[in-house]
Structure formats: structure tokens, C-alpha cells
Structure 1
Amino acid sequence: MENLLESLALEILSRLDDSETVACCRMASKTFNSVFPGLQFINLQWRLKWYLESRSRVSNSPNCSNLHQNSSRFTPSLKRVFLNLVSNLSALESVRIGVENPPLDVLNADVEDDGDDLHITDEGFVKEWLPRVSGALKLLSLSDFWVQSSRRRSEVLSLISAHCQNLIELELKNAWLAVQNMNAMPMLTSLTLELIRLDDKNLTEFNTCFPNLQVLNLIDVRGLKMPMIHLLNLKTCHWTVTDSPSYICIIAPNLLTLRLECRSPYAIYIEAPLCYNLHLALEHLNGFAVKRFQKLKNVQLECSNIRSLIRKLHRLETVETLTLDIRAGGNSKFNLEVLFCTFPNITSLCFKPRVWSEFEVWCGDIGLKGVKRFCGYLSVIDPLMTFALVDCVLEECFNCVEISLLIHRGVPSNVSKHFITKCMAQWPDLKWGWGIWEEGREDSWIPEEQLPKTLVEEGSDSI
């Protein structure tokens, strides 16, 4: 290891994922340690177990009246470790620093104290290192410890915008952010805010300071009242609205992909004529207005009342791929006539699991003749009823040549095998695809030639 060329050793360190692994390499090799100052990234992720173990040792020690002051005697401070790393690196292009947050089932009492040792969006801490590394910095990611940061408003956005004029990608998580005294960041093209309390109710400062964003992720951003995204260069947007603002507006003339998730806004307005992919997920919607979609091809709808949402979309003739999902507790009967009126030219149709329970047989004279591919997620609780629904879809989508059905992993193998055999015998000319689905897991597909063997040998653990 000590005979490695320094250039090769630096290349090896540069390919590692995190600073913890880099530290192990430095301890194991003088060569790695000597080339470390040339490294261009820091990725320091503080594990929750380290914090909990430290608290446990402090609480069990004598004279532990001040938990925050005593904890440093047992575990090195995240901030001290990070500042030491920064002081040894000369040309940082990427900084990622984060704290693992407790899962939802852990009570705040198990992790909460009055300390700020893990409050990494604290402007006092950021001032210690950001000005020195900001010149070459292109990526910055700060994922705070919500237990400490949720009660402390941070002006870190002002600091970042003042020092990081060459920053391209910014990610901030688990923090309460002020927006006063922010400067414009014209170089920034990618922004992610996740689990953020933002003091910008209408996103006024937001639109002014990030004019050239191309990728935007607003995941669980709170404190919004009548938010409007108005970004001329935006191409991809994922917006999860946790609050229930009365009005949501998106004006993005170059937007290609939009995923919008919200509860029950009173009205949504979208002006994105070039949008190609649209995913809407919401509980209920009163008003929906769109300045005409000119190029929309792929649509996924998830709603408690899917019929009502489809009718609000009016006629979308350019859409080719449609996926429908109904939220838990939803109740909205619909049939293919509803789809035909709104999406007359779809070629690919997908039903998620809950859609089947609300699907009604339609006895119209004109089916969805353009549909060539159909995909369905099945629970097969009642095999006869499920078969009848599949039969209905194929009768009305009479030009369908390719059908893919995914059966829930929990369905007994003998039920699945009987259902599959019956479908393939009923429609032998179709191209079949079979798979397995389960909540929280990736879909798994089974090649047709392997299907009988898989069913017999793997049993209920397969399908």
C-alpha cells in the first residue's frame, strides 16, 4: 500500500463515498494520509446511534446536571470533527454534512436536549468554515438534526448566497430557514429543500434569488400560504405541499416534468406548455386551471376522487400513457367512458391496486381502440371478480396486444397459478408479462418462460 503512486492514491480516495471511510484509509496508510489534503470533497454523516450512546453514557455518569456540556467528554463533537477536516483540505468542490434523524416512532423525549452540538445550519458554525471554502464550492448539502434545529431559525441562506456565487447544487434538510438579506444566486441550477419551515409564505424571495433553477425539489416545505413558483428556466419540479394553502400556482414555460403532491388545495393553476410528464397526487381538488399543455405525453393521477379529477382536466389529446391510482379511503366509481372523453389517444394504460375496486363495466359502443398496452396491479382477493374486470378492460381496449399484470406477493401460489393459467388460456394471442408487487418494495418481473417453474418451486414466497 505504501508503494502506491500519490496520484493513484488520491484517485482511490476520490472514489470513496464518505469521509468515515477516508479516515480509515488515512489511518491504515501513510500514503493515503499524505495525499488527503488534495481531496475535493467532504461527506460526513453523523449517526443517530452515536448521539444516543453519548446521551446514555452522560446520563449514567455522576454529576450529569448539564447534559450538553458533559456529552463532549464521551463523544467528539460533530462540529469539531468537521472543522478539523475542512482545515486540512485546500480546494473543496463538494461538501455534504448531515445528521441521521430519529424515525417517527422514537419519542422526542428519547433524543431531545437543549444543546446545539448537532445544529449544523447554525449561522455561527457555518461562518467558521464557509467563507474559506466557498470559492471553488459547487455542491453543498446540509441535513440538520430536527430535534435541535426546529426551534432555532437559521439565516444560513443569507450566508450561502453571500459567499457561494459559484454554487451549482444546493440541498438543505430539516431546518427552519429565514429568507431575509438573501442575494441572487444565478449560477445555482439545482435546489432541494426537504422538511423545511420556510419564512417565505408566497415564495416571493425564493423566485427572485434562484432565477436560473433547472431542477427543483420542495419536499415537505411548510409555512406556505399562497405559494407561486415562477421560474423561467425550470425543467424538473417535484413539489410536496404539506400545508393546505388556498392557492398553488406554477408558471414555468420550459418545465418538462412536474410531480405535484398536496392535500386539498382550493385551486391549482399550472402554466407549463412544454410539460411532457405530469404526476398529480392529492386528496381532493376544488378548482384546476391549466394554460394548455401542448406536449403532454405521460400522466399519472392519484386522488381520493379520481373521477372528479379526470373531469377537471378537460380534454388532453396529446397524452399517450396514463396511470391511475386511488388514495386509501377514496371512493369514486369510474369507467372507461370517463377516460375516453378526457384522454382519447392513450396507447398505454395502467391501473394501480385500489383502482380495481372502483372500476365499473362500461357498455359503450366505442372502446379505447388506441390502447396497445395495459398494466395492472392485482390483489386477487376474489379471483373470479378480478378475472371479470380484466376481461372487461380487454373487451373495451380491443386492440390491446401487450398486457402486464403484477400480483401481490401475499397471494397464495395456487390462487396465482390458477389465475395466470386462466388468463393465458383465455387470451392466447396476447403478449403477457407477469410480476410481483408489494408495498415498500420494488416491482419484480418474471420472464414468461420461467413462470411455471417459479410458481411451482418458490411457492407463496414468489407469487
Structure 2
Amino acid sequence: MDDLPPPLILDILSRLGDSADLASCRVASKTFNSLSRDIRSINLHCSFDRYAKSRCPLTRSSITPFKTILKNLVSELRIVESVTIGVDKPLRTVSYDDVEDEDDDLYLTEVNFVGEWLPKVSDGLTSFSISDFWVQSCWRRSEVLSLISSFCHKLAELQIRNAWLSVDGLKPMPKLSKLTLEYIRLDDEDLNKVNESFPGLQVLNLIGVGGLKDPKIHLLQLKACRWTVSNAVYSVTIVAPNLVKLKLKCVRPRALVIETPSLADLHLSVEEASSFKVEEFVNLTNLHLESLDLRRLLCSLPFGKTIKNLKLGLTKSSELMGVAKFGFESLLSVFPNVSSLTFTPWAWSIFEMYICPEGDEIRSRMKGLKEITAYLEIHDFETTLSCIFSILDNCTNLFEMKLFIHRDVVFHVTNTLISRCMTRYPRVIWRWGMWKEGTEDAWILDGVL
């Protein structure tokens, strides 16, 4: 290995999945030891095994503290551009009630700890990610955001997970373009401070951010946003004139205000909302809707004519009879220009209960539909088959049908469905697949199991 060109060795060392392995490499070779100082990224995670050994009386003394490892790494590197630290996924699921852990050895957003090493690497740092240990961080409010904003003036990407954050002392960071806050505790006034302090944000991910009552995002440069509102709130507001892609998941907001005139791709998941206030989406072409009451949500949307690609989903606990009256005829009256239609699991079960009516007017309305994707459970074979035939009889320009059949459907039923569909409609390009909750979708080659 010592005979390899130094740039190649450096590239190999830079690809190590865990920066803790650098210590072994330094011992193995003088060349490795020298070149390792030029690595510009740190990727360090505490495994469940390390955590368990640090708690065991028999092994505790042999385990180097996780925070010490990081500080040693920082002291060895010349320039650091990226830092990623955290706990592995098994540790993220550990409950405070289970361990009653009052230590701070894995409290990674602790200001004193971060303040020991962050100033040394801040000049070159452009990416910073912390995944804290919730058991130790949930009851300690951290001012790490203030510390980061004081030193990291070139930072472009910031991710913080599993922490209770304070915005006290937070300074503007105009160069920050991507922010991810996941399973974070904030207050409404804290989110307002985030809006003010990160005016240049183009990508924002807020996932499971709790403690909010009337959250509002107001960012003029924002282009992509993923927002999962973890609890019931009074209202959710988004004001972002340049936003192009939005994925929003709520519970039961009383009001939903979306002022995003440039929006082209919207994924909206909401159990129910009392009122909607949206500007006209003249550029919206991709729409994914999920709701407990899909019918009411579809009827309440004040847009639809621009939609080309539509995806519908609902939870299995939905009231089927209340939604079943909303069939293809009504669907295409709301979205007259849709060309690609996808039914996620259980949404198809709603619409197959409503057979398309016949007639030239119906066929004319459905002529723009070119492609359908559906996930089938097949509770009643003849009902499923009749629905597919009815759609294809009316959608004369439909050229591609992608059908995923649940893996629990018996072999004979699946093959019979495939055979009858392909025989009756040879003009259609058929794509067959299999699906099941919690597994990857799988394609059936040539429609044969």
C-alpha cells in the first residue's frame, strides 16, 4: 500500500465510513499517518456496541470516551470542510424511561463540548451535522446554534437531529443554503428567529419539530421544503415566492395557508383541515395527495387544471363508504388535464368500487389519461377486473398500465388477472409488479411469476 501514489492513498482514507478507523491506519503505516492529516472530513458515529461497553463495569475502562475521539481527530487534521457526528440508529430509539441516563458523555450539542473544537475548524467548515442522543439531550436546552453562527461563517449546510434547541444569541448566517432540523424541540418564536437568521436558505427540512402552535415559514429564496408537523396545530403557514418543491405532512391544522406561486411539485398529507388559503398555482404539474378523507380534500382544493401527474393515497383506516362515491368521473372533472395517475395502496380500493360510467362525454374527458399506476389488494377478483376493464374501455388513449399486486394474493389469482388483462388489451404496455408493506416493490418480468 505504501507504494501507491499519495493522492490515491488520500482518496482511499477519505472514503472510510468511520473516521475512528483512521487511528488504525496511522499505526499501520508511516505514510498513512502522514497523509491522514490531509483528510478534510470527519464522519464519526457512536455504535450501540460502544455505548453498551461504556456502561459495562468490566469494559468501561478500556473504552475511549466518544467526545475524546472527536477532539483528537480535530487536533490531527490541517483543514476540515465537513463534520458529521452522532449516534447510530439503534441508539436513537433508546427511551429515557428505559435507561434514566443523566450522563452527558453523548450529549453532542452541549455548548462546552462543541466550543472546545469547533473554533479550530470553523474557517474551512462548509458542512456540519450532529445527530444527538435524545436520552441525554431532550431535557437539556442547547445554545449550540448561537455558537455555530458565531464561528462558522462559510457554512452552507447544517443538520441537527434529536435535540432541544435555543435560538438565544443566534446570529445571521446568509451563506447557509441547506438546513435540516429533525426531531427538534422549538417554539413559535424560535422558528421566527430561524426565518430571520437564515435568509439565504434554498433547502429546508423540518421533520418532527415539536413545540409549535402556529408555525410559519417565510423565506424568500427557498426552493425546496420538506415539513413534517409532528403535532396538531392551529395553523400552518408557508410564504415562499420561489418555492418549487414542497412536501408537507400535517395532522389536523385548523387552517392551511400556502403562498407559493412558483410551486411545481406538491406532496400534501393531511388528515383534515378546516380551511385552505392558497394562491393560484400556475406552475403546479405534480401533485401527491394523502388524507383520511381523500374525497373531501379533493373537493376542497381550489386548483387542478395544471396538474399533469397525480398521485393519490390514504390510510387504511379511512371511511371507505364515504369516499367511494368519488370515482373517475369526478376525479377528472377536478383534474381535467392529468396524463399520469397513481393510486398508492388502499386508494385503489376506494376507486375500484365506483365503475366508470359509459358515454362519449366520459370518454372525451378521459382521453388525456396516458398512464396509470396502481397497487392492488384484490379482495374481490371480479370487481378488480371490472374496474380495470372499465377504465381501459373509456381511456382510449391510455398506453401504459403499471399494476403492483399484493404479495399475499395467491399465485393462481395473480396469474389469471395478468393473463386476462394482457389478452383483452394487447395495445396497452403492461408493467406488472408485487408489493407488500415494509418491503421493496418488485417487478414481475414479462408478466409471468
Task: Indicate the TM-score class for this superposition, using the shorter chain for normalisation.
Answer: over 0.9
> Which stretch of the first structure deviates more once superposed, 264-273 or 353-362?
353-362
Instruction: Give the aligned partner of residue 64 of structure 1.
Output: none
Q: For each residue in 1:368-421, what CA deviation from the matched residue of structure 2 results, as whole angstroms up to 9, or x when unmatched?
A: 221011111111232222112222332343321111101112222222111111
**Per the alignment, in what secondary structure is the counterpart of residue 209 of structure 2?**
strand
TM-score by length of 2: 0.93
Task: Tell me how far apart the structure 2 counterparts of residues 428 and 284 of structure 1 sit (CA, whole Å).
Answer: 41
> Which stretch of the first structure deviates more once superposed, 407-416 or 117-126?
407-416
TM-superposed CA distance for 1:229, in Å, is: 0.7
TM-superposed CA distance for 1:106, in Å, is: 5.3
**Per the alignment, in what secondary structure is the counterpart of residue 221 of structure 2?**
coil
Q: For each residue in 1:61-117, what CA deviation from the matched residue of structure 2 results, as whole angstroms up to 9, or x when unmatched?
A: 6xxxxxxxxx85242211011101111112000000001254787554444311000
**Per the alignment, in what secondary structure is the counterpart of residue 19 of structure 1?**
coil
Q: Does 1:245 align with 2:233?
A: yes
**CA 112–394 in structure 1, closer or farther in 2 if over 3 Å, else same:** farther
Q: For each residue in 1:240-264, what CA deviation from the matched residue of structure 2 results, as whole angstroms up to 9, or x when unmatched?
A: 0002111111111111110001111
**Residues 194, 220 of structure 1: 8 Å contact kept:** yes
**Residues 114, 148 of structure 1: 8 Å contact kept:** yes
The alignment's C-alpha RMSD in Å is: 1.8
Instruction: Give the aligned partner of residue 353 of structure 1.
Output: 345
**Residues 356, 387 of structure 2: 8 Å contact kept:** no
Q: 2:253 aligns with which of 251, 265, 272?
A: 265
Q: For each residue in 1:7-57, what CA deviation from the matched residue of structure 2 results, as whole angstroms up to 9, or x when unmatched?
A: 3321221233331343333333221111111110100011122212332x2
**CA 53–383 in structure 1, closer or farther in 2 if over 3 Å, else same:** farther
Q: For each residue in 1:210-245, what CA deviation from the matched residue of structure 2 results, as whole angstroms up to 9, or x when unmatched?
A: 101111110100111111111111111000000211
**Residues 109, 144 of structure 2: 8 Å contact kept:** yes
Instruction: Give the aligned partner of residue 327 of structure 2.
Output: 335
* Aligned-partner residue type, residue 397 of structure 1: C
Instruction: Give the aligned partner of residue 397 of structure 1.
Output: 395
**Residues 180, 205 of structure 2: 8 Å contact kept:** yes
Q: 2:107 aligns with which of 119, 133, 139?
A: 119
Structure 2: unaligned runs, 5 residues or longer = none
**Residues 80, 124 of structure 2: 8 Å contact kept:** yes
**Residues 4, 31 of structure 1: 8 Å contact kept:** no
**Residues 53, 60 of structure 2: 8 Å contact kept:** no
Q: 2:206 aligns with which of 206, 209, 218?
A: 218
Structure 1: unaligned runs, 5 residues or longer = 62-70, 456-463
**Residues 42, 84 of structure 2: 8 Å contact kept:** yes
Instruction: Give the aligned partner of residue 92 of structure 1.
Output: 80
Instruction: Give the aligned partner of residue 461 of structure 1.
Output: none
Task: Tell me how far apart the structure 2 counterparts of residues 219 and 186 of structure 1 sit (CA, whole Å).
Answer: 22
Instruction: Give the aligned partner of residue 412 of structure 1.
Output: 410
**CA 163–104 in structure 1, closer or farther in 2 if over 3 Å, else same:** closer
Q: Does 1:286 align with 2:274?
A: yes
The 5 Å alignment of 1:137-156 reads 137-156=125-144
Q: Does 1:172 align with 2:160?
A: yes
* Aligned-partner residue type, residue 148 of structure 1: Q
**CA 439–190 in structure 1, closer or farther in 2 if over 3 Å, else same:** same
**CA 244–151 in structure 1, closer or farther in 2 if over 3 Å, else same:** same
- Say how many residue pairs are matched: 439
**CA 104–171 in structure 1, closer or farther in 2 if over 3 Å, else same:** closer
Q: For each residue in 1:407-445, what CA deviation from the matched residue of structure 2 results, as whole angstroms up to 9, or x when unmatched?
A: 112222222111111111121211111112222233222
**Per the alignment, in what secondary structure is the counterpart of residue 222 of structure 1?**
coil
Q: Does 1:157 align with 2:134?
A: no
Task: Tell me how far apart the structure 2 counterparts of residues 336 and 171 of structure 1 sit (CA, whole Å).
Answer: 43
Q: Does 1:384 align with 2:372?
A: no
Task: Tell me how far apart the structure 2 counterparts of residues 281 and 204 of structure 1 sit (CA, whole Å).
Answer: 24
**CA 103–409 in structure 1, closer or farther in 2 if over 3 Å, else same:** farther
Task: Tell me how far apart the structure 2 counterparts of residues 403 and 109 of structure 1 sit (CA, whole Å).
Answer: 50
Task: Tell me how far apart the structure 2 counterparts of residues 338 and 252 of structure 1 sit (CA, whole Å).
Answer: 31
**Per the alignment, in what secondary structure is the counterpart of residue 427 of structure 2?**
coil
TM-score by length of 1: 0.91
Task: Tell me how far apart the structure 2 counterparts of residues 152 and 101 of structure 1 sit (CA, whole Å).
Answer: 21
> Which stretch of the first structure deviates more once superposed, 373-382 or 178-187?
373-382
